[in-house]
Amino acid sequence: MFQKLSLTASVLATSVLAQVPGTLTPEVHPSLATQQCTNAGGCVTVNTSIVLDSQYRWMHNVGGHTNCVNTGFNSTFCPDAATCAKSCALEGVDYASYGIHTSGSSLTLNLFKQENNVTTQSSPRVYLLANETTYDMFHLLNKELTFDVDVSQVPCGINGALYLSEMDPTGDSSDLNKAGAKYGTGYCDAQCPVNNFVKGVADLNMTNGACCNEMDIWEANDAATAFTPHPCNATGVLSCQGTQCGRGTGNKYLGVCDSDGCDYNAYRMGNQNFYGPGKVVDTTKPFTVVTQFITSDCTDNGTLSSIKRLYVQGGNVIANAAVNITGMAPQNNIDNAYCASEKKVLGGTDAFTNQGGMSQMGQALSRGMVLIFSIWMDNGSGMQWLDASFPATANSTTPGVARGPCSATSGDTTMLTAKYPNAAVTFSNIKVGELQSTF
């Protein structure tokens, strides 16, 4: 998933991670009810809530109004990591002003916000909280995760995403990080993003990355969708540097994470009439997404062997479309064989296998992962890796090149800002439970 590298400069200039709670704006977490389900007892509502990522918040000197970070750390407040943590405060936010709205079990994220008749990018990212200071940890081996989604207002070039990362439950709360999960700290993923604070410590030279296992449950717009495991050879959050992060020319596959992942995109797998407006899964209307994590021995302690996808729409259960590419088995799930075959037939480096494959991904799902919601547009590739032909220079008739029906220019961010100021995704009825219990 590439969002983590695509925040606009205007956002980054005023939004950074911090360690001390501010006192100017109260932090009030919007409620977002979820459900836990069993086959015997049905579903029970849980009083969960959401929190905005700390990188979107104002960080200023304690007792003042001066930014602690602009293009770099303010050396007056941050001569060293310990002083920085004590000298800088992270403020609460007005969630509606970021285009974040909840109602009961429903969450809507707007890509843009309007101020004084001017449209600017908000692109919020939020996490699910179990309580005021702890993220809700999802343990999904031998379980399923289900939600409803409305992508009818998410056009080509925009991605409304729901995914899991192996973040620390407290947001790396410590003596140097008093803000913690309450203020959305501790982000990590398989792209090993460079954050201002990594594992709760100021990255004064901006040289460290925050690596962790990532499971992309849902990356989608109204034209294309993919689900993708990204295993990392790491437990929890790993602070990386250089080659360990996969940085530098020729080093992408020498890092600890599979940044490409093993994606399953029905359109890319040869089923162009399965997902989209008026298709088998009709994206002009809401529908239910079910993701099942199957283990080798059908127990919660087994090894992850398969990730399965189902849809429910109009009262009908819809099986995921099967692979329709010569040289690949006609399966509709992700497993080790599928991932190896995808790289062999379609091309690419099999970092998935090299980083431990399904077993490694399953270990992270067993330890627990944080649920993340976001909406964003890709200033780099224009989201073509999700919904168009990619690479753009490749022949679109070559198997695996066409990821969706969108054009090479549909992800132009200037055009999207002008044409789709109301772009938004809605997630609702989030459930987790035993297999076959949530739908």
What is the per-residue burial (b if ≥16 Cβ within 10 Å, else e) of 370-402?
A: bbbbbbbbbbebbbbbbbbbbeeeeeeeebbbb
214 is catalytic: yes
Find out whether 288 and 279 touch, Cβ atoms under 8 Å.
no
Q: Is 342 labeled as catalytic in the residue annotation?
A: no
The DSSP letter of residue 320 is P
Under DSSP, is residue 146 helix (H, G, I), strand (E, B) or coil?
A: strand
C-alpha distances (whole Å) from 269 to each of 229, 334, 392 are: 16, 12, 18
Cβ–Cβ < 8 Å for 62, 19: no
Residue written as token pair 């501010």: 22
- Helices 336-346 & 357-367 angle (0-180, nearest 10): 130
Q: Which of 27, 91, 166, 219 is catalytic?
A: 219
CA distance 86 to 68: 11
Q: How far apart are CA 100 and CA 303, in angstroms?
A: 37
Q: Note whether 337 and 412 are within 8 A (CB).
A: no
Phi first, then psi: give them for residue 82, nearest 5 degrees.
-65, -45
| DSSP string across 208-252 | EEEE--EEEEEEE-SS-EEEEEE-BSSSS-EEEEGGGGT-STT-G
* CA 84 from centroid of its chain's CA atoms: 28
Q: What is the largest CA-CA distance in the chain?
A: 65
Residue 121 near residue 128, CB atoms below 8 Å: no
Type and span of the H or E element at 364: helix 357-367
Choose the catalytic residue: 27, 144, 166, 214: 214
Q: Any long-range contacts for 202-205 (C-beta under 8 Å, 24+ apart)?
A: 202/19, 202/73, 202/78, 202/81, 202/84, 202/85, 204/73, 204/78, 204/80, 204/81, 204/84
CA distance 167 to 2: 17
Structure tokens of 116? 């004084």
**Strands in 142-222 per DSSP E:** 143-150, 158-165, 197-198, 201-202, 208-211, 214-220
Helix (H) or strand (E) holding 358: helix 357-367
Catalytic residues, by residue number, are 214, 219
